[in-house]
A and B are shown apart, each in its own frame.
Chain A
Amino acid sequence: MLDTDFFRRWMTAAAAFVDREADRLTALDSPIGDADHGSNLQRGFTAVRAALEKEAPDTPGAVLTLAGRLLISTVGGASGPLYGTLLRRTGKALGEEAEVSEEQLAQALRAGVEGVKTLGGAVPGDKTMVDALVPAVDALGDGFAAARAAAEQGAEATTPLQARKGRASYLGERSIGHQDPGATSSALLIAALAEAAAGSEGVR
């Protein structure tokens, strides 16, 4: 079972990964975006990390809904409402239980990804976050490491795609040949999930 501390570790690991990869995310966002993805997410997850320490939410669902709310209010770019919706929907789907199963998390995350698709209107193949998140959720039944690998493959597979959503879509064919920054940060979020899971195995 996954407890509140697992979800706190997930968010803390996500904040650490975003810190580490911020420059890379911004670099990916330079040719096809407005070169702020890394700094935007860094601002958001820094706020999430601070709030989790201060407010100490006491259920898995509460951790994710708090994180989602902060991302919506602090990121400043489109990734704020998108990641915020992902985490809030996932958190709400987890309900108020003190511990949740991996199966419950997989289902909740699927609801979160559906929320992202509805909000942004993107479908797989549009060169967005969805291209990393959907394969990750599909693979989660095989474990966290499988989800991480699937998300990373999904992000890499956005390179030959033409963007059909967001600012990159204005570039048309010129968006081809660049890995999507949103799919890349989505893979980081899933990698952080696997990191949190690996941490709990180490403790046991």
Chain B
Amino acid sequence: MKVLVPVKRVVDYNVKVRVKSDQTGVDIANVKMSMNPFDEIAVEEAMRLKEKGTVSEVVAISCGVAQCQETLRTAMAIGADRGVLVQTDEELQPLAVAKILKGIAEKEQPDLIILGKQAIDDDANQTGQMLAALMGWPQATFASKVEVADGKATVTREIDGGLETLELTLPAIVTTDLRLNEPRYVTLPNIMKSKKKPLETLTPADFGVDVTPRLKTLKVVEPAARSAGIKVPDMAALVDKLKNEAKVV
């Protein structure tokens, strides 16, 4: 069976972004870009299913600027068999990405699509659920365990207050949470190998998708800053401050 894994190129999670002085957005010129961490978990999960023999082919997809090729190469270095880049310089919002992915899914006919639960740039947490709705497929979001057998995926999900388990009839959508797995380190030989793997480039128009943003960003500002307080010498001083100054205990 075939698995699709969409991967997003985002500002690296260690970078503290700066808001542009003209309030039009954050400054991403010359900052390190990486694969969205939750998407890395998604690629890893697909590879583990392949290594178990459940899955025969893993296809990585990325939507965005030409440099998303690098993100696809990373996915292929982890082990994805090939990559598809849907290239555009337009700002892509989750609904547009979900529509592009629907076009790819209809062409590729996968049994499973594994996505990260959210991207760490726009923090939207939408694309997987939107894709599931557009495809009319069942979904299991925020997965911490995935087992695939006999045309079903049994998925344990992180929910408020604990865990729940769902059984989905394939084809289905899974989105990854933090504890699903720990992605492997990419080795140099695998990076070299990834460069020889096929990478197809398409455009949103190939799927008839209008990617015009539906949400207009009017401005982007820094959050209200919180100033550092004081250091206390001991616990007696701390408890005194909490009781008599902050009055919170």
B is bound to A = no
Could you list which residues of chain B lie within 8 angstroms of chain A, going by C-beta atoms?
Answer: none
